[in-house]
Amino acid sequence: MDCLQLERANSSNYSNLGPTLVNMNKVVTSPFARGSLDALPLFIPAIPFAFVFGVVVANAGIPGWLGWSSSPIIFGGAIQVTLFTLLGEGASVAAAVSAALIVGARHLFYSLTLAPRFQDQPGWFRWVGSYVLIDQVFVLSQIKPIEEPQTFRRYFLAAGFTFWTLWMMFTALGVILGPAIPASWGVEFAAPVLFISLMMAASNRKDKLAAAALAMGIALAFSHLPHRTGILLAVAISVTVMLVARRWSS
Amino acid sequence: MIAAAIILTGIGTYAMRAFFIFALARYTFPPLMLRALEYVAPTVMAALVISMMTNTRGELTASWAEALGLVAAAVVAKFTGNHIFALLAGMGTFWVIRWII
């Protein structure tokens, strides 16, 4: 029953995409608009995070404008926060930069996963698309598998740069206002809530859901490892286990 | 020094995002690898949730409020496929349980 419902939900997703995204002459919604609209709700949990970022920059004793410059230069919330937290604690540049990059190492998985989709794209899009390849944009591209290259490109860029524009604005506000949202509200919890919602959307098959559950267990077992390296191990191990299991069952 | 750290991290982050997109631009992906890549999105999201719910010593920081909030969000996401509804359900459950306890 569960499986059937998932299958049906999955196929209805595909048929929804058809008229909206492929047959653009007949429908008002363009892939640009769709990408922007899909990115908007995903930005909500990033708002408290932007204010946390502002506090971290202030605590590190870094001028606001310099801290904010990391938003366009790095464009990665967790990476930016890690970098300034460690610099604020007096870590060396080499130590802070390498820790921040290890925290962001999951982007290598995104790059690998999207590499086949970027093969039929023009060169400029490889350069520009890579710049906005963040967690949320990656998952959106996986939840909505768009076949047509131009539609994919427009959707991807719209989602990416909608998120980018909002992140620039809200990290600026975060740097200026600092702790504008009382910590006691617990709004930071919106981030894991969104990610579990994205996890469910990305798990449109029973085996993908099993992979996600397995990854949770492995991530928990390795959660004591520094710089979130447990995430990398959880992905690598659970993907391997799922492949072996699929081989066995077929 | 701070500026150098920001620029180096920016270059490194961009390089990680672009690496395979450029390195494998002409590579023919074997079917087994394409199948493996289908699991990346769900497993990364799952691992991210856990990393946000644990501290640096590897201890769970989630109480009942967080745990049930995540369950509520997962259930609503599965049946509605709407992230706003999932967010409302997750945060609502979290706030209500925290207020009760």
Please write the tens of the pLDDT for every residue from B66-80: 999 999 999 999 999
* Cα dist from A19 to A16, A23, A26, A154, whole Å: 6, 5, 8, 16
How far is B59 from chain A, CA to nearest CA, in Å? 7
A127: contact with B, CB 8 A cutoff = yes
**Does B9 score more than 50 pLDDT?**
yes
A13: contact with B, CB 8 A cutoff = yes
How far is A166 from chain B, CA to nearest CA, in Å? 17
A160: contact with B, CB 8 A cutoff = no
Residue B55 lies in a domain: yes
A216: contact with B, CB 8 A cutoff = yes
* Spatial contact of B87 and A193, defined as CB atoms under 8 Å apart: yes
Regions in chain A scoring below 70 on pLDDT: 1-28
* Number of H-type helices and E-type strands within chain B: 5, 0
Length of chain B measured in residues: 101
Residue A14 CA, distance from chain mean position:
22
B64: contact with A, CB 8 A cutoff = no
Residue A20: per-residue pLDDT: 40
Q: Which amino acid is at A134?
A: I
CB contact set of A209 (below 8 Å; sequence gap of 6+): A200, A203, B42
Domain boundaries, chain A: 2-204, 205-250
B101: contact with A, CB 8 A cutoff = no
Residue B71: per-residue pLDDT: 97
**Nearest Cα residue to A170 out of A47, A60, A24:** A47
Residues on chain A touching B63 (C-beta within 8 angstroms) = none
Residue A171 to residue A70: CA distance in whole angstroms: 10
Regarding whether B75 and B47 lie in a shared domain, the answer is: yes
Contact criterion met (CB < 8 Å) for A197 and B95: no
| A185: DSSP letter | G
* Spatial contact of B93 and B72, defined as CB atoms under 8 Å apart: yes
Residues on chain B touching A90 (C-beta within 8 angstroms) = none
Q: Which amino acid is at A118?
A: F
**Domain, as residue range, for B47:** 39-100
Q: Quick one: what percent of chain B has pLDDT higher than 90?
A: 89
Which chain A residue has its CA at the smallest distance from B78's CA? Answer: A200
CB contact set of A179 (below 8 Å; sequence gap of 6+): A51, A54, A55
| Helix (H/G/I), strand (E/B), else coil: B54 | strand
Residue B62 to residue B54: CA distance in whole angstroms: 7
Regarding whether B92 and B58 lie in a shared domain, the answer is: yes
Regarding whether B57 and B91 lie in a shared domain, the answer is: yes
**Nearest Cα residue to A101 out of A127, A128, A74, A126:** A74
Residue A13 CA, distance from chain mean position:
21
Regarding whether B57 and B9 lie in a shared domain, the answer is: no
How far is B77 from chain A, CA to nearest CA, in Å? 5
Which chain B residue has its CA at the smallest distance from A229's CA? Answer: B51
User: What does R_g of chain A's alpha carbons equal in angstroms?
Assistant: 19
Regarding whether B81 and B61 lie in a shared domain, the answer is: yes
Which chain B residue has its CA at the smallest distance from A142's CA? Answer: B41
Contact criterion met (CB < 8 Å) for B13 and A101: yes
Residue B93 to residue B54: CA distance in whole angstroms: 20
Backbone angles phi, psi at A24, to 5 degrees: -70, -20
Length of chain A measured in residues: 250
CB contact set of A91 (below 8 Å; sequence gap of 6+): A99
Pick B54's closest partner by Cβ from A74, A211, A220: A220
Residue B34 lies in a domain: no
Residue B29: per-residue pLDDT: 96
Regarding whether B17 and B49 lie in a shared domain, the answer is: no
The structure tokens listed for A6 are 């998932």
Contact criterion met (CB < 8 Å) for A216 and B60: no
Regarding whether B1 and B20 lie in a shared domain, the answer is: yes
Number of domains in chain B: 2
* Spatial contact of A213 and A199, defined as CB atoms under 8 Å apart: no
